[in-house]
Copies of this chain bind each other. A is one copy, B any other.
Amino acid sequence: MSNRLFSQSTGMFIAETHTDAVTWYFSVDKFLVEGKTKYQQYQIVDMPTFGKTLFLDYKIQSSLLDEYVYHESMVQPAMTLHPNPKKVLVCGGGEGSTLAHALSHNTVESATMVDLDEELIDMVKVHMPEWHRGSFDDPRTTLVHQDARKWVEDKKGENYDVILSDLPGPIEGGPALYLYTQEYFQHVAEALSDDGIFVLQSGACNETYPYCFACVHKTLESLKEHFPVVRGYYGLVTTFQMPWGFILASKKHDPLDLTPEEIAKRLEARGVTNNYYTPRFHQAMFTLPEYMIKAIDAHGRVLTDAEPFIWDA
């Protein structure tokens, strides 16, 4: 055993890179839980500033500092937009916070969560109570471990009011590649009620990697007969080192029509208290920067089962 000189920035790190321009070295104070499921590797770590944080396949997922920003952005606009959401489907959403936010609307009578990775959810139940907040034990919850596409295809006419897609990005060879295609989105439309709303996380909302967001937007736009309203928006997730994009596709209701007053009324009536998605902030979230609007035109294309997303497009 020997001791060696310590001078600069040393310690434990997880390195992640999202583009060829920058690699992030996240400082780790302690590795709390580590493991590997059939589908992915995971670490729960304690980080300075961010606190308890989940990484999947060495990609930061959410931290206690601002998981609420990501998950409120994921869930609350769609739930609030629907005048009376009773039946909700969550696709993915492993940490349980997406489910918890759906259940926070007391109009909800049933929430089904379909997540392929049972081992991960079992781990989350034990180690991430700050995220799921007991939602897996809510009597309104049904938890299913199955491929989300298969589930949705079988649920034609099921009349979900809201479908929340909190899935991994469409990476080649990854489990979610065909959950971002025109064909799948048609099945989604058929599983929704007549005024149903679909929302999905859609990747970076910035100038370095707008490609995924642009293609998903274009694909949903191509389904005008199903989804006459398609609105991109974003959440300012500090942990992600960039704004994060979501796209809401709706059969009837348009988020741009929702006034702060109406939002406040609905949230209060349903017993929902938010920290990020507030009546005041709703319109700003749906105001995309110019460069994202240009990116949709410049880089967007319709994704299909035959030609799904390719990361290096």
Chain A interfacial positions (CB closer than 8 Å to B):
1-28, 30-31, 34, 43, 47-50, 54, 56-62, 65-66, 69-70, 92-95, 98, 166-169, 171, 174, 176, 201, 203-204, 206-209, 236, 238, 240-244, 275-276, 278, 280-281, 283-284, 287, 289-291, 311
Contacts and interface: CB of A to CB of B under 8 A. Distances in A.
Contacts of A95: 1
A20 B3 contact: no
Given A10-B17, A14-B13, A21-B27, A209 B169 contact: no
Contact of A43 (B12, B22, B56): B12
A300 to B, nearest CB: 17
Contacts of A176: 3
Q: List the number of copies, as a whole number.
A: 4
A15 B21 contact: no
A206 B238 CA distance: 6
Given A25-B22, A34-B30, A61-B1, A236 B17 contact: no
Identify the interface centre among A11, A57, A244, A280: most chain B CB within 10 Å of its CB: A11
Contacts of A30: 34
Contacts of A243: 236, 243
A28 to B, nearest CB: 8
Contact of A58 (B12, B61, B66, B276): B12
Contacts of A275: 290-291
A289 to B, nearest CB: 5
17 contacts: A1-B62, A4-B16, A4-B59, A4-B204, A5-B171, A6-B17, A6-B58, A8-B23, A10-B15, A12-B58, A20-B49, A23-B25, A24-B241, A236-B243, A241-B242, A283-B284, A283-B287
A309 to B, nearest CB: 11
Given A176-B3, A275-B290, A289-B276, A10 B34 contact: no
Contacts of A4: 16, 18, 59-60, 169, 203-204, 240
A255 to B, nearest CB: 14
A5 B290 contact: no
Contacts of A18: 4-5, 7
Contact of A9 (B23, B34, B61, B276): B23
